[in-house]
A and B are shown apart, each in its own frame.
Chain A
């Protein structure tokens, strides 16, 4: 082989090695940046869930308003929530994976609420069937009850639970 041909062959190998090197460096940089991006997305979703938890009970779809006397904070109208849970319009409205409401005290039968068993149940799945990690906050849950044909307000202690919906997994 001529000396010049050997040199060209050497250069070709060098070029292939260089290209491979840069591809590897590029992949490494991309991997790091995507990992950072995922972490940012997860922390943003968690931040959203935590901020929503503290305030969602006061949003018009959940809040007691003046249905049970004076306006109170962190009070959820369960009758309204039963209606909301049956509506499909609100899917994606709050931008979270799932929202559930559970009575804590006094303890009720462990059962998901439907119109047939309400109010003798303790979990209302407002929307989403996500079984991921839920964050929760204590709230008061109020509803109208009738005893001896007399209507009165009944409030119990409960929890509102929100999951971020998939970004964490």
Chain B
């Protein structure tokens, strides 16, 4: 009876060592899988940045692209406004075995401006770009919407309807709003999540108001969170500042060859862009930008 309960040393040793080895094997393989997932998420973020190159430096007035992802994916959009141009940062996290993986490394771009909510999840992303001119071409704004998110534009002007149908935005509908779609009203109405006011060039999003200049920023404002929008507007003004300096220097280089007389106006635009605190300041800077646009348009020697 007593002999049956005895385990020899070699058995005990084999069980303990076997257990340790099995534990290490599971630990290592889970680490490798996590690391692999992290690599995939980081690569996806970099790929998205590269794939938006054609959208951004386009010659067209607007472009659209859809990106389908291998599995349900979360995109984290963040914006940093420190430094010369600030930074666009994105990271991804994918769903595997029913769980969201840890987000991959943040990939940064200085020359990109993505407008979306800070956290979107989908298997397919719709990206479209709209040019931003202030008064010269500054960049193409890239607006990202998940396919599952639907919007309903109520009382929208014909230009907006034309824009949306030209772009082929399948998740934007007009007037007859389906259940679950976000109502964006272009005149005062009830049950609107967002109200676009062309008189003040602003969008009321719940209790918060953001301001825009031009169609590009209007769409950007509708489809993105206030924090992302405000940060990107500040980054855009940094680019306006840098481009104003380039045009000022170009004018100096061309003295004697071709005169434009825009130097002082560009200096004013530069200082106003530098002093922008929030999108509300866009309204005053827009006046300067418009007068510069007229001056350049009428000049014998156009700077842009």
Contact = CB atoms under 8 A, between A and B. Distances in A.
B253 A79 contact: yes
Interface stretch (B136-144, B201-209, B279-287): B136-144
B246 A61 contact: yes
Interface residues of chain A: helix, strand, loop or mixed (majority): helix
A20 interface: no
B250 A60 contact: no
Given A82-B253, A144-B254, A144-B258, A60 B53 contact: no
A60 B10 contact: no
Interface residues of A, number: 48
A37 interface: yes
Contact of B250 (A59, A83, A145): A83
B250 A80 contact: yes
Interface stretch (B56-64, B93-101, B171-179): B56-64
Contacts of A29: 32
Contacts of A42: none
A33 B302 CA distance: 54
Nearest to A92: B110
What bracket does the count of chain B residues touching chain A fall in? 35 or more
A92 B111 CA distance: 9
Given A56-B57, A83-B246, A89-B242, A40 B43 contact: yes
A4 B50 CA distance: 65
Contact of A15 (B17, B242, B247): B17
B39 interface: yes
A55 B304 contact: no
A60 B139 contact: yes
A37 to B, nearest CB: 6
A115 B243 CA distance: 19
Nearest to B110: A93
A65 B304 contact: yes
Contacts of A168: none
B250 A18 contact: no
A94 interface: yes
A82 B254 CA distance: 11
Contacts of A83: 246, 249-250, 253
A86 B250 CA distance: 11
Contacts of B24: 22
Given A89-B85, A115-B253, 4 more contacts: A51-B53, A51-B54, A87-B249, A95-B109
Interface of B: 9-10, 13, 17, 21, 24, 28, 32, 35-36, 39, 43, 46-47, 50-51, 53-54, 56-59, 84-85, 109-111, 136-139, 242-243, 245-247, 249-250, 253-254, 256-258, 301-304
